[in-house]
Each structure stands twice: as C-alpha cells, then as structure tokens.
Amino acid sequence: MSNTLLETNPSIESLVQPRTLEAMKAQYQLDQQEKFLSIRAEAETLLQQLQAIKQQRQELSNSSVEA
C-alpha cells in the first residue's frame, strides 16, 4: 500500500495502522517467547550438567573416604 493512498484516505490509515501495530507486537512477543524458551532450555541443560558433576564429585569423595 502506498503512502499516497494512506494520505488521501485517512480512514484506510486508521484501519491499517492498528492492525500493523498489533502484528508487530504479536511478532515481537513471539520472538521474545522463543528467546525465553531457548534460554530456559539452556539453563535446564546447564543445571542438569552441574548436578551430574556434583554427584560425581560426591561419589569420588565417598569412595576415597572408604578406601
């Protein structure tokens, strides 16, 4: 849609602009949600790795005390 059409017909602009803003907000929200879920998954993976390392250290500590 050209700017001249919007300039000559304000009623079209009033219809198009809110829809465009809504679409932009929805896209922004989807992008942010995708980033959040990605970071959350990465954090969960790191937490699992940390717990596994902690358990390995505890097992090594227990085996050295028993020996």
Which residue, among 54, 58, 35, 34, has the nearest Cα to 46 in the 3D structure? 54
User: How many domains, the chain?
Assistant: 1
pLDDT tens per residue across span 53-64: 999 999 999 988
Whether the model clears a pTM of 0.85, i.e. scores above it, the answer is no
| pLDDT tens digits, one per residue of 22-39 | 888 888 899 999 999 999
How far apart CA 50 and CA 48 sit, in angstroms, is 5
Range of the domain at 60: 3-66
